[in-house]
Amino acid sequence: MFHFIQILLALPIRIFFPTKIVGKKNIPKGACILSCNHTSNMDSVVLAVKTWEKKYYLAKKELFENKFMGFILKKLGAIKIDRQANDITAVKNCLKILKANKKLVIFPEGTRVHNENMELGEVKNGVAMFAVKAKVPIVPIFITRTPKMFKRNRIYVGTPFTLEDFYGKKLTEKEMNKAGEIVTAKMNELREFAMNSLTKKK
């Protein structure tokens, strides 16, 4: 069903949201976390359609209120999460996915961020926590503009990295903050590269 929906949406996405993914080969085989900035509700749909392998996404529960959209999101790999509560079920589901050697996409800012320079919002520690607990690499991803109809866009995929220094440690708030700072730095590093690359192409 996933690939059927993927193929079904491929042409509309190509026409209405033309997007080029740069560095797709950086996505490793097996389990990993794709840590991506969040610009719109279309982010997960575009990523799901533009990369063949099925991935799983954390998505706020409000997106499932529309039954049709909820159906599509579930088939594309969306995992419902209640952002207003400590959603243990969603956390367990994410860990199960990673331990099953599958890929998980997380938007660590936790909400859509809009600004002229595409600067990142506050990067939460969820990516670091899942990566350390599941002992999987993190792949930074940067969307260079908010998807808009008929506007060309680019998504950059960075080099995978791990948080091996934190494996086996007690995950105190201090340790998680340190790990989170590394994730933030890697994402900002990719953002700088992506924005500079766009400037050179103009």
As to burial, measured by CB atoms within 10 angstroms (0-12 exposed, 13-18 middle, 19+ buried), residue 93 is: middle
Owner of token pair 């997960």: 44
Token pair of 14 as six digits? 């190509």
Q: Name 33's bridge partners.
A: 104, 138
Pairing of strands 19-22, 138-143: unpaired
Residue range 115-134: average pLDDT? 90
Nearest-Å Rg of the Cα atoms of the chain is 16
Q: Which pLDDT does position 71 carry in this prediction?
A: 85
Residue 21, pLDDT score: 95
pLDDT digits (tens, 9 = 90+) for 15-71: 999 999 999 999 999 999 999 999 988 898 899 888 889 999 888 888 888 888 888
pLDDT for 202: 57
Q: Where are the alpha helices (DSSP H) in 17-66?
A: 43-50
Structure confidence at residue 201 (pLDDT)? 66
**Percent of all residues in the chain with a pLDDT value above 90, rounded to a whole number:** 55
CB atoms within 10 A of CB 194: 24
Residue 107 has pLDDT above 80, yes or no: yes
Q: Are 107 and 39 in contact (CB under 8 A)?
A: no
CB neighbours (10 Å) of residue 181? 13
Fold classification of 19-201 is: Glycerol-3-phosphate (1)-acyltransferase (3.40.1130)
Residue type, 25: K
Q: What is the pLDDT of residues 63-105, one digit of tens each?
A: 888 888 888 888 888 888 877 667 788 889 999 999 999 999 9
Consecutive H or E run containing 154: strand 153-157
Read off the tokens for 73.
């999101």
pTM over 0.85: yes
